[in-house]
Structure 1
Amino acid sequence: MSHRFALRAACACSLLILAGCGGTVRVDPPTPDPSVAAACEALVKGLPETLDGAGRVDSAPASPYVAVWGEGEIALRCGVPRPVNMAATDQVPVINDVAWFSAPSLPTLFTSVGRQAYVEVTISRAHTPEKVLVDLAAPIKAALPQTG
């Protein structure tokens, strides 16, 4: 396993660490390229207040590129790097016109691809990934145009 892959896996796991019982969830915020930062901010502002029955909560540190629902059950980070383990030949499922890459080794981590920015979503096993990804499709399409 490469060091970068291990680092990415550790980062994905850290998304769901609770910062306390007050509803604030610790999420490492991404540092998007300046060319996509405004689009990521628009995406996060346009996200729903609930996903698959989980209400939106605050994250720490606060970031305009992060959204969290439930007690860290679902976390979204916009402006992340391209998945290091994604090959050009990988087939990715498309849900409501948004393509999602998911490595078999990280079954709860999904990354939207083929858009102005990469959006990473971690979904706990308490939720149905397809339902969450369907609900995220419209705001992603509205904020992040397709590329290529």
Structure 2
Amino acid sequence: MTFSRRRPLLVLPAVAVLAAAGCSSSDATATVAVPSPPAKEAAACAALDRLLPDTVAGQKRHDPTPNSPLTARWGDGDAEIVLRCGIPRGEEMSDPTTNGVQVEGVWWVVFPRPEGPRFVTALREPYVELLTGTRYAHDASVLQAFGAPVVKTTKSL
């Protein structure tokens, strides 16, 4: 009889965790701030959008709202990858102590964040930003999928 009393206690927390996971997972309605670059940069971003892969690091693409060729999204939660094209060049890009990495012909400046690293293209216009989940905290391989499209559609400075 003790066993049957414990079973509901074990099942209820599991159901609660599953329900919370279902409610808390991101979906296509996630909103992302859309940059507002000059027309020439917006055209380059639209060209980039057409070349972006359907999957990145095993994560399927499902774009955020509002729908824009300046933003794209793959995955959810700790595996989320959000791209924004045409962002302004931030002051932090001038910090000589900032780390960078070159992947597939593109230099990326790396900004650590608790939510996962932020990568911004360096020496290219328009600037492209990738916000990644904690799964990619120590893994820049997620950048491989963006090398060829970024090289093809952005201008080297």
Q: TM-score range by the shorter chain?
A: 0.7 to 0.9
Amino acid at match of 2:111: A
Alignment partners' CA distance in 1, 2:56 and 2:120: 17
Q: Which runs of 5+ in 1 are unaligned?
A: 1-17
Contact 1:24–1:57, Cα closer than 8 Å, also in 2: no
Q: 114-123 or 85-94: which moved more?
A: 85-94
Q: Which runs of 5+ in 2 are unaligned?
A: 1-22
- Residue of structure 1 in register with 2:73 after alignment: 68
May I ask how many residue pairs the two structures share in their alignment? 130
- Residue of structure 2 in register with 1:101 after alignment: 109
Contact 2:32–2:66, Cα closer than 8 Å, also in 1: yes
Residue aligned with 2:91, SS: coil
- Residue of structure 1 in register with 2:9 after alignment: none
Question: Is the alpha carbon distance of 1:19 and 1:57 closer, same or farther for their aligned partners in structure 2, counting shifts above 3 Å?
Answer: farther
- Residue of structure 1 in register with 2:152 after alignment: 142
- Residue of structure 2 in register with 1:131 after alignment: 141
* Deviation for aligned residue 1:68: 0.3
Q: Which has the larger radius of gyration?
A: 2
Amino acid at match of 1:68: R
Higher helix share: 2
Alignment partners' CA distance in 1, 2:24 and 2:91: 28
Contact 1:123–1:129, Cα closer than 8 Å, also in 2: no
RMSD across aligned positions (CA): 2.4
Percent identity over the alignment? 34
Alignment partners' CA distance in 2, 1:111 and 1:39: 16
Say yes or no: does 1:53 pair with 2:63. no
Contact 1:23–1:71, Cα closer than 8 Å, also in 2: no
